[in-house]
A and B are shown apart, each in its own frame.
Chain A
Amino acid sequence: MSGFFESVEWQTLVELLPQMPFAVWETFYATALSTALALVIGLPLGVLLVVGEQGGVLPLPRWLMGLLNAIINLMRSVPFLILMIFVLPLSRALIGTSVGTPATIPPLVAAAFPFVARLVETSLREVDGGVVEAAQSMGATPFQIIAKVMLPESLPSLIANTTIALTTILGYSAMAGIIGGGGLGQIAINYGYYRYKYLTMVVATALLVVVVQLFQTVGTRLAAKCDKRLKR
């Protein structure tokens, strides 16, 4: 066993250990900030996808709905690595650099908001049509139906789906390590994969797993806690 502690694998890991807490933080904030911004864009889009269709609460022209769906599908079908390369000029324009953790945020948001829009759409479709009809029968405006019926009634589902978005975006942020993004992904790829230090790769990945577990646990608990449909 004594040989292990003298191995290059172990030495590299020990050398990199002080960087780990900061890498965890970088991954965490890149993910959280990107998800938040993706929600800012994706939530209204998701609402439009539901209320704007024919027979919806606020029907929009067919061509507009068709265009919206086409754009979302298009962005959803571009692989993240390719999308990231497309969006890097935008990062340079917005943030002044195309390397480092802040530079990964525009591509992460670009990749995440169409996904978030679809998740929001799914959540809102779970709202009972009868409840929406009841609100209409009471003289609610379309905006009141969105703000006071659809969003509050689907809140537990929205939280659960945001957790899914969060863990997916975490995966994307690790991938961003390949083209110069920071965080745990960068350590796993640059040190672990490119330099064959597999122990470092495994440890960085294990930390990613811990962050995912944390997000998922908090998300699941929060969704359950605010769901009044459960008898307690």
Chain B
Amino acid sequence: MIEIQHLTKRFAMAGGTVVALNDINLTIPQGDIFGIIGMSGAGKSTLVRCINMLERPDEGTVTVHGRAMQSLSAPELRAARRQITMIFQQFNLLMQRNCLKNVCFPMELAGIPRAKAEARAKELLELVGLPDKAGAYPAQLSGGQKQRVAIARALATNPEVLLCDEATSALDPNTTHAILQLVQKINAELGITVVVITHQMSVVEEICRHVAILDGGSVVEQGEVSDIFSNPQSDAARRLVFPAGVPTTELLPGRQLVRVAFGGGTTTDKPLVASLAIECGALVSIVAADTRLVNGQTLGSMVLALPQDPASAQKAVAYIQNYPGITMEEVENV
């Protein structure tokens, strides 16, 4: 379990101090895949670096499996870092070492005998699906292969926690998917707690169970991924769940707009828009719609333009509010 309490980090910049992280409180359960999502500059990379003390927090505490990270001595911190490993957007492999030697590197640092380290490195390269690349140099690999080697390297010291700092942001969608599958497999098979830093909602959707949304250095929303998807509360969460923003409707000026969100299995059996027309007599237009698969559940949202006549609009609102498994909110029509 990772517990972050009242974490604050400031940077001294030309022209004053910038508060990168402001009173962050997070609890990441053991064995979870926990997403931390935010736009560029939200502070997520700084936050993940505070977990292994690559960045020293100015205030607050970080506890990883009972260890108070900020008060460890230098040798204790080095030992703790073997249990909290990290993969990076730019892979950060040693370019002058072949893959086997790259995977051996953390074991070499820990003083594990070479023969033992190489045997384990071979196993790990097999685990990540690159058994034939032991002798290849990073320059000869594709981005996805490099990240696989980096994952093997991160697993070499049997960590309890794997930190992924934008690990798929430099990869194409297919490779991203394959790498996420691998991370999921590692989480399931080895029980490693995974913290995923990303700006891509699709990454959170695909593998995370819990998510915290970071905006301007603060956690604005956190909870189960499916809850946040079906019912985002904060502006930052809405921006991430509906990346295109609130759809504007020059076509339907003056019409009242509502966003409906549905999740889970039961609701999708009964078609909402058709029911509105038949049972309620309200003819609505779909302005925007989107469905996603999150942790095996179909989640979706629609923006509906209600009938012009205020009476039937009100009737439609009441109908939707009583509809099972649907959440609704009004959207400003700009």
Task: Determine the distance from Cα of A155 to Cα of B109 in the docked complex, in whole angstroms.
Answer: 20
Find out whether the CB atom of A130 lies under 8 angstroms from the CB atom of B96.
Answer: no
Find out whether the CB atom of B110 lies under 8 angstroms from the CB atom of A131.
Answer: no
Find out whether the CB atom of A134 lies under 8 angstroms from the CB atom of B109.
Answer: no
Find out whether the CB atom of A148 lies under 8 angstroms from the CB atom of B108.
Answer: yes
Find out whether the CB atom of B90 lies under 8 angstroms from the CB atom of A130.
Answer: yes
B144-162, CB < 8 A from A? 153, 157
Task: Determine the distance from Cα of A134 to Cα of B85 in the docked complex, in whole angstroms.
Answer: 9
B61 located at the interface, meaning its Cβ lies under 8 Å from any Cβ of chain A in the complex: no
> For this complex, into which size category does the number of interface residues on chain A fall?
20 to 34
Mark A131-172 against chain B: 1 for CB-CB distance below 8 A, else 0: 101111111110010001100110110000000000000000
Find out whether the CB atom of B54 lies under 8 angstroms from the CB atom of A228.
Answer: no
A230 located at the interface, meaning its Cβ lies under 8 Å from any Cβ of chain B in the complex: yes
Residues of B contacting A131 with CB < 8 Å?
Answer: 92-95
Q: Is the interface of A mostly helix, strand, loop or mixed?
A: helix
A229 located at the interface, meaning its Cβ lies under 8 Å from any Cβ of chain B in the complex: yes
Find out whether the CB atom of B95 lies under 8 angstroms from the CB atom of A148.
Answer: no
Task: Determine the distance from Cα of A149 to Cα of B102 in the docked complex, in whole angstroms.
Answer: 11
Find out whether the CB atom of A137 lies under 8 angstroms from the CB atom of B95.
Answer: no
B67 located at the interface, meaning its Cβ lies under 8 Å from any Cβ of chain A in the complex: no
Mark B88-112 against chain A: 1 for CB-CB distance below 8 A, else 0: 1010111111100000011011100
Mark A217-232 against chain B: 1 for CB-CB distance below 8 A, else 0: 0000000001111110
User: Which of B33-41, B76-84, B219-227 lies at the interface with chain A?
Assistant: B76-84
Residues of A contacting B106 with CB < 8 Å?
Answer: 138-139
Find out whether the CB atom of B81 lies under 8 angstroms from the CB atom of A139.
Answer: yes
Find out whether the CB atom of B93 lies under 8 angstroms from the CB atom of A138.
Answer: no
B280 located at the interface, meaning its Cβ lies under 8 Å from any Cβ of chain A in the complex: no
Task: Determine the distance from Cα of A148 to Cα of B110 in the docked complex, in whole angstroms.
Answer: 13
Find out whether the CB atom of A134 lies under 8 angstroms from the CB atom of B88.
Answer: yes
Which of A134, A141, A231 contacts B78, CB < 8 Å?
A141
| A125 nearest CB across to chain B (Å) | 16
Least CB separation from B137: chain A residue: A228
Interchain residue pairs with CB less than 8 A apart (27): A128-B90, A131-B92, A131-B95, A133-B54, A134-B88, A134-B92, A137-B81, A138-B109, A138-B153, A139-B78, A139-B79, A139-B80, A139-B106, A141-B109, A144-B109, A148-B105, A148-B108, A149-B94, A152-B97, A155-B96, A156-B96, A226-B96, A228-B98, A228-B138, A228-B139, A229-B95, A229-B96
